[in-house]
Copies of this chain bind each other. A is one copy, B any other.
Amino acid sequence: MSIYLSSRTQSLSPYIPGEQPQDKRYIKLNTNENPYPPSPKVIQAINDALSSLRLYPDPESTTLRESIASYYGVKVEEVFVGNGSDEVLAIAFMSFFMPDRAVIYPDVTYTFYEVYAGLFGLKSMTVPVNRDFSLDLEPFCKNNSGVVIANPNAPTGIAIDIKDVELLLRTNPDNVVILDEAYIDFGGKSAVSLIDKYKNLLVVQTLSKSRSLAGLRVGFAIGSSELIEGLNRVKNSFNSYPVDRLAMAGAIAAIEDEDYFREITGKIINTRQRVKGQLKGLGFEMTESQANFLFITHPEIEARRLFVELKEMGILTRHFNRPRIDNYLRVTIGTDQEMDSFLKATEEILDKTKRLG
């Protein structure tokens, strides 16, 4: 390692995103992308924005923030946007926690939280989820740290109730509670409506999943104007123009095409429920996922082996080599056709496993 790296950089364990192999064409069920393209209006809006690329984007991303504010019924000063929800989360960690405020999150959750804590030199605590991956809220209610909860959780897909969200907010009056709602549009209930009542709530969402715009990198946060002002202070100390002109234009069109959004999220939810039943028929156990993925395990085949065999058959899923979840696979919900291929391949692998004993 270079002698020029700061001591903190030397000690980092960076996040590892899902693989994007280029060696052949896979059915990609490994990074929770939407199997359907974005709204045709997104393409049109981006085309219209191409003529002004020589000019900087609006550093305040005002028109995009207005669209989001209008969609969620909040004020424009209650909306923050960034280059993907990963950047929004990173800026939130920097804005609210830094070394003087520790941060607490479940042990099984989006692993980027742990990475941010390392990057920003934060004290962090993890709360073990239960054996069934459900979340025991009590430890979050009597702590003195910022709270980060993915709702629904990743990679389990388990959502928490809005009543439980309120309990977290009420019992943490001095701490920021970040709700990472990356997967909320597939069945959970958003906490956005609570931002007036709880000044400590920051809801983070993304256009990468339910709006089919993973390739465009747009995420946002909604919270009290005081929290948003804090995010802006850090953003303007880091990168003045994090959302480019084409991303802004595309994101606005995606937010505004509600019919299309409802159609494709509805399709994904239907496919999820159908596939869930079929996987149970094959002997799989799984969590009650409210996300665009399933988190599955099988008593007769190790998850790692299933992952490898599926990959050999051209199907990518996600296996996490981490304690407690290393015998599970996270499988993104694709099109019905893609899921049929996945089910067929899985059945073949199971049959072979049983035959070979």
| Chain A interface (Cβ < 8 Å from any Cβ of B) | 1-9, 12-17, 20, 28, 31, 33-38, 42-43, 46-47, 49-59, 83-84, 86-87, 90, 94-101, 115-116, 118-119, 174-176, 199-200, 208, 212-217, 224, 226-227, 229-230, 232-247, 250
Which residue from chain B places its CB closest to the CB of A177 in the assembled complex? B4
Please indicate the chain B residues that have their CB under 8 angstroms from the CB of A3 in the complex. Answer: 174
Residue of B12, B98, B116, B214 near A9 (CB, 8 A) is: B98
CB-CB under 8 A for A212 and B54, given A240-B15, A241-B86: yes
Which residue from chain B places its CB closest to the CB of A246 in the assembled complex? B246
Asked if B229 and A6 make an inter-chain contact with CB atoms under 8 angstroms apart, the answer reads no
Known: A84-B239, A119-B238. 4 other contacts (CB 8 A): A46-B246, A54-B215, A83-B244, A217-B244
The secondary structure that dominates the A interface is loop
Q: Once bound together, how far apart are the Cα atoms of A230 and B51, in whole Å?
A: 36
Minimum C-beta distance from A29 to chain B (A) = 12
Residue of B98, B238, B241 near A17 (CB, 8 A) is: B241
11 contacts across the A-B interface (CB closer than 8 A)? A9-B230, A15-B236, A20-B58, A34-B54, A49-B215, A52-B215, A53-B212, A55-B215, A83-B217, A86-B241, A215-B246
Asked if B227 and A54 make an inter-chain contact with CB atoms under 8 angstroms apart, the answer reads no
Asked if A244 and B244 make an inter-chain contact with CB atoms under 8 angstroms apart, the answer reads yes
CB-CB under 8 A for A42 and B37, given A95-B6, A96-B5: no
Asked if B46 and A224 make an inter-chain contact with CB atoms under 8 angstroms apart, the answer reads no
Q: Once bound together, how far apart are the Cα atoms of A48 and B228, in whole Å?
A: 36
Asked if B2 and A237 make an inter-chain contact with CB atoms under 8 angstroms apart, the answer reads no
Asked if B2 and A53 make an inter-chain contact with CB atoms under 8 angstroms apart, the answer reads no
Asked if A9 and B86 make an inter-chain contact with CB atoms under 8 angstroms apart, the answer reads no
Minimum C-beta distance from A38 to chain B (A) = 5
Q: Once bound together, how far apart are the Cα atoms of A205 and B246, in whole Å?
A: 21
Asked if A5 and B84 make an inter-chain contact with CB atoms under 8 angstroms apart, the answer reads no
Asked if A86 and B229 make an inter-chain contact with CB atoms under 8 angstroms apart, the answer reads no
Asked if A96 and B9 make an inter-chain contact with CB atoms under 8 angstroms apart, the answer reads yes
Minimum C-beta distance from A154 to chain B (A) = 14
Q: Once bound together, how far apart are the Cα atoms of A245 and B206, in whole Å?
A: 16
